[in-house]
Chain A
Amino acid sequence: MTPAPTPRFRISRHRRLAWLGSALACGLSLLGLALCWLNPAIHAPLRPGLDFTGGTQVQVERDCAPCTAITAAEIRQGLSGLNLPSSEGDRAPNLGSASVQVLDSGRSLLLRLPALEAEQSSALVDDLASKFGPLLKSGTSVNTIGPTLGSRLLRGSLISLLVSFVGISVYISFSYSGIFAVLALLCLAHDVLITCGLFAWLGLLQGIEVDSLFAVSLITIAGYSVNDTVVVYDRIREQRRTLGDLSLVDQVDVAVDATLTRSLYTSFTTLLPLVALIFFGGSTLFWFAVALTVGIAVGSWSSIGVAPTLLPVLSKR
């Protein structure tokens, strides 16, 4: 079938370079996560967004063209005089701790506050409308998330991820071998770690927060990473049958070479819609698309450069 097992590209010749690159990226990611954790303002490996911390986020769009300039300080000043209705037994939260962002040169306002009740947030929007309005009714979005919900979401995602890892490892152990399963999970951890590391740095330097969509993107990356790796594995398994007399290193080289075009084409075609989303998609999906793009690029890299090259090393022991 494949008469000439002489790969044009031998991944084993570059494996030290590949390992160095991956180790460096992982190290930088860990550093970012650690710095994030040590940062007193964040105190978590990633800067958690509203979905995880709980609270209320109010976004309003002003109905004006052109809009008069407005500063965050003015808005904070305007809010400080507001008395929110409070239900019995609770005191209305203090609006002084609100964080205010002015976006699109004064057109949209983004406020982050402690969790408000529905009545309080509608009073707040009414107050904003009277002071900085008129507001576009259709551009208003209010999200309130209780603090327990965020941790529940996180726990649910983590548990389901762990269970799916176990399921995948069992499947790979049966249809390939235990070492393949270990390496697939290692690769997956590598891809997820680097994506998290990038967002830790973004959180440190740019104040980018991770939300529940980020959790979804990590799950997507994990799924993609395994799919990508399995295809290379499948080729190695096939080479073992037909080219059993070659050394494992050579078998891996042949398999990687044979699947290289496919790996690159597949990543390229998956990345096309994602890159389109980054450039032309709505602002809500921007960071989601960035996370997926990075994760899939890294995933493709690890399935070529990391999982196959580690296989002979681990198999020897």
Chain B
Amino acid sequence: MGRQQGWFALILALTIASGALLANYGLQLGLDLRGGSQLTLQVMPAGAITRVDTEQLEAVKDVLERRINGLGVAESTLQAVGSDQLVLQLPGEQDPSQAARVLGSTALLEFRAQKPGTEEEMRGLLALKRQAESVLRAKRPPSPSDDPTSPPPPETPSLSPQDLSKALSSLGIQVPAGSTEVDQIELLLRETNRRILGLYGPPLITGKDLTSAGRQQQATGTGWEVTLGFNREGGEKFASLTQSIAGTGRVLGIVLDGRSISEASVGEQFKVAGITGGSASITGNFSAEEARDLEVQLRGGSLPLPVKIVEVRTVGPSLGAENIRSSLVAGLSGLVLVAVFMAVVYRLPGIVAVVALSLYALFNLAIYALIPVTLTLPGIAGFILSVGIAVDANVLIFERIKEELRGGNTLIRSIDMGFSLAFSSIFDGHATGLISCAALFFLGTGLVKGFAVTLAIGLLLSLFTALTCTRTLLRLLMSYPALRRPTYFLPARQLPPAKSGAAQAGLA
């Protein structure tokens, strides 16, 4: 009897501990249940690197983490998945487009000087570029994220169809049949950019030479500019670079990810020492949003390898809330029915099993809070399956007890036999389940992993509750003679007639 009480004390202690754990930590819900955005980023091999290894993945992750911190989204998590993917979760974020913009680009910043003797060509290209850009900006519907208070461009720029086709043919661009005007202007922009890049010398200063980045409203005009602070070496290089082109009419090109975003000429007065002071600003006619994106990217540094966003999932909080509420209601009502069924079919042990299974559910949730396990829909599926198997363990035991009772065994002996005979089948079922869990966990992808984790926890706990909780509680109850009646286990007509009379003389 002492052993039973020891077990009972342990179960009681675990129950209290689980309750306390749940009250203090609570459960972590996955994005599919609480709403938010999830982005999957694929790190692409580039240049000499043909395979992404963990070290490079970590390097990319570091840069992305700095950028995410710059965005200031609460509770975001960035995890490496497999050898070349990163998953970013932004709980509660409904519009992941900014995060996608900021994370998706390499942000390789370069300062380049224009090659001598190309002044004429550059002037033409820049004029064409400005014209195309302003036409394109006017053609696009303003996105709602743009500052609505900013006034529209003073004059509506236009590029007549004749001018456009002339410009296109002067650059030798074949216009694909059926392309719209916007398509053609974009083609034009791409080609001018390509040619402008060709007129630049090699990169002399890169993002590595920066120590800080900021943004401010332009002194003139409506746009924003991004301010940069160089380290000592970068400041010196910037001074000598600006000195070399000061007063020549050649431009200093600021190139971001292979796109010339700003072309600045340097005035005569810097001929002697160049621009000193270790700071510069990029006036690329940015919107407030673009300036902020660039600032965050430059602060985080450029990515060692390019990344591509391969998956974006967004779940609205109301969809998530509806999911969790209706699924909870459904799951609980199903479990209540299971409890009623167990109590009706198995009588006293059925009620014991309901108590044991309630503890089982509580222990499960406590472990989810402890590890912690993030609950997702597949995770709930794993939990449902483990509940099914846990109920099965109890059913197996009780069916065995009934069999023994029908065979004429005494009550206490039948209970002991029931547990020991059912053990091998319970163990085999749980063992095969755990084998699948291991395979699914180590080889499966995110969704499947979540399923495997909750199922494995459920299986391990089910072994414990079926063999320990149910048994201890049942034995404890059997220490009260009033409860020691076979009819509390199965209907009287199923008991063998001769023995039921002899053994149950006290029965009314």
B310 touches A148 (CB 8 A): yes
In the complex, B121 has a CB within 8 A of chain A: no
A274 touches B425 (CB 8 A): no
Q: How far is the CA of A238 from the CA of B403 in the complex (A)?
A: 15
Interface segment, B53-61, B123-131, B391-399, B471-479? B391-399
Interface segment, B19-27, B158-166, B225-233, B311-319? B311-319
Interface segment, B294-302, B439-447, B497-505? B439-447
Contact check: which of A85, A233, A269, A277 meets B395 at CB < 8 Å?
Answer: A269
A172 touches B432 (CB 8 A): yes
B287 to chain A, nearest CB (A): 13
Nearest to A136 among chain B residues (CB) is B318
Residues on A with beta carbons closer than 8 Å to the beta carbon of B317: 138
A302 to chain B, nearest CB (A): 15
Residues on B with beta carbons closer than 8 Å to the beta carbon of A281: 326-327, 330-331
Describe A's contact surface by its main secondary structure: helix
Nearest to B346 among chain A residues (CB) is A265
In the complex, B438 has a CB within 8 A of chain A: yes
Residues on A with beta carbons closer than 8 Å to the beta carbon of B438: 164, 167
B444 touches A157 (CB 8 A): yes
A276 to chain B, nearest CB (A): 4
Interface segment, B8-16, B140-148, B198-206, B269-277? B140-148
Residues of A in contact (CB 8 Å), total 89
Known: A122-B97, A230-B425. A141 touches B403 (CB 8 A): no
Known: A136-B318, A224-B388, A269-B341. A262 touches B399 (CB 8 A): yes
In the complex, B407 has a CB within 8 A of chain A: yes
Listed in ascending order, the chain A residues whose CB lies under 8 Å from chain B are 1-3, 59, 61, 83, 85-86, 88-89, 91, 117-119, 121-123, 126-127, 136-146, 148-149, 152-153, 156-157, 159-161, 163-164, 167-168, 171-172, 175, 212-213, 215-217, 219-220, 222-224, 226-227, 230-231, 233-235, 237-238, 258-259, 261-262, 265-266, 268-270, 272-277, 279-282, 284-285, 288, 292, 296
In order of increasing CB-CB distance, the 7 nearest A-B pairs are: A273-B334, A146-B310, A118-B100, A270-B388, A164-B439, A276-B334, A234-B425
Given contacts A145-B311, A172-B432, 12 further A-B contacts (CB under 8 A): A118-B100, A122-B97, A149-B310, A164-B439, A219-B448, A219-B451, A262-B395, A270-B384, A270-B385, A273-B337, A276-B330, A277-B331
CB<8 Å pairs between A and B, sample of 25: A2-B407, A117-B309, A118-B309, A126-B143, A138-B319, A141-B316, A142-B312, A156-B444, A160-B439, A164-B436, A168-B435, A213-B378, A216-B381, A223-B432, A224-B388, A230-B429, A234-B424, A234-B428, A262-B395, A269-B388, A270-B385, A276-B330, A280-B329, A281-B327, A282-B322
